[in-house]
Amino acid sequence: MLEAAGLDCERSGRTLFRDLSFGVAPGALVRIAGPNGSGKTSLLRILCGLLAPTQGEVRWRGTPIRRLAEEYSRELVYLGHASALKDDLTPYENLDIGCRLAGLQAPREALAEALSGFAVPDLPVRKLSQGQRRRAALARLLLSERVPLWLLDEPFAALDAAAASHTEQVIGRHLKAGGSVVYTTHQPAALDSSARVIELAVN
Amino acid sequence: MLAVVRTLVRRDLLLAMRRRSDAATALLFFVIVASLFPLGVGAEPNQLRAIGPGVIWVAALLSTMLSLGRLFAADYADGTLEQLALGAAPLGVIVAAKALAHWLVSGLPLVVIAPLIALQYDLERPLYGVLVLSLFLGTPVLSLIGAIGAALTLGLRGGGVLLSLLVLPLYVPVLILGAGSVAMAAAGLAPSGQLLLLGALLVVSAAFAPWAVAVAVRIGVE
């Protein structure tokens, strides 16, 4: 479904990886592993189209993502390091606006349910802790079940055990429904055993 | 696509409401700068009438500059800009919506308050309409061109100063036409030539600026 062909990535004169090729089938779980600075985030950003690879291309259902543009964006969810939440809005408002901008239809009850699923309090995001922010960002996943490709950068960072296992369940359900997930992590998670690993090294 | 524009404009207005001081600062800056001139230059009515339109327009440019830094910076810092770049609508449409919201928050209030400022310069009655119309046509151009500068300076250190250096020269035609239209009317001539040119500038920048901004944002997000 998703196919990376001969990816090279060079950031500020340093080669992060060279000639990286792999495919992600429907229902597949792929973990990008490697030490800090090995290019995990860069690879995820290349896969979602935010970053152009120095060489090679990413294809979605056989078509280069450069050519698909928004058509491809609508098929994926990317959760990056930054939570993409507005400090002055509540998690509910953030989630509502985030879904609308991504072109997802999310009724009121579904939004409230997603937030309570991750136990996010109804306070302005400014007042939330790091872990609560992360959970508010992850709540988006519960509304994106029909979006086939999830690209998650450190989804378990700052989460407590309960929230981490809830996230794993959500990911597990998505895989069972035929979705694909590509993620990076430093924390060992129960998911890791079923994931295909792409190992990046520091050059 | 229209739904995305509506959502984004509403979001930016909501954020401006929650953070009223930001918008108020730019507006107060406009009022104060425009009010300093009569105090500094003296209360000679003819002199004030002559410099009035120019001063109001320069104050409007500077006040717009003040709020431009925030146009993309906050979205860039908290990761929202990445999500916008991965949104359901083309990035050009999204940045056009952001420029529209910027104008509603920082341009439209200037248009509304300008007649009050013009009182201090003892402008003649018929000129008020021309001044308001010229600002109404010109301030959206300032937001659109400013958005290009704001996107190009994303994530740069000292971006604020660089932004002024990039954008202010591009504002010159708007300033000349805007202030010129009021001066023309003051001289008893029809200001329609300048106003039509301002309208043309608005159409051209509305058509082309969003695509330039989109390219700059893509580079900034990388």
Residue A30, beta-bridge partner list: A182, A196
Chain A hits for B5, Cβ within 8 Å: none
Q: How far is CA B48 from CA A104, A106, B95, in A?
A: 56, 57, 39
- For residue A49, give the DSSP letter: T
> Within a 10 A sphere around the Cβ of A3, how many other Cβ atoms?
18
Of A88, A93, A102, the CB nearest to B88: A102
Asked if residue A118 lies in contact with residue A138, where contact means CB atoms within 8 angstroms, the answer is yes
Distance from CA of B78 to the nearest CA of A (A): 5
Tell me, what's the pLDDT at B214? 94
Helix (H) or strand (E) holding B48: helix B45-68
Q: Amino acid identity of B78? A: D
CA angle A32, A148, A120 (to 5 degrees): 80
What's the complex ipTM? 0.89
The answer to whether B86 contacts A48, with C-beta atoms less than 8 Å apart, is yes
Q: Is A12 on the interface with B (CB under 8 A)?
A: no
Extended beta strands in B14-149, E state: none
For A115-139, the pLDDT digits (tens) are 988 888 888 999 999 889 999 999 9
Residues of chain B with pLDDT under 50: none
Which among B210, B201, B204, B131 is positioned nearest to B172, based on CA atoms?
B201
* CA distance between the termini of chain A: 29
Q: How far is CA B15 from CA A29, A166, B37, in A?
A: 37, 31, 33
How many CB atoms neighbour CB B212 within 10 A?
Answer: 18
Residue A92 clears pLDDT 80, i.e. is over it: yes
Distance in angstroms (rounded) separating the CA atoms of residues B84 and A51 = 14
| pTM of the predicted protein model | 0.91
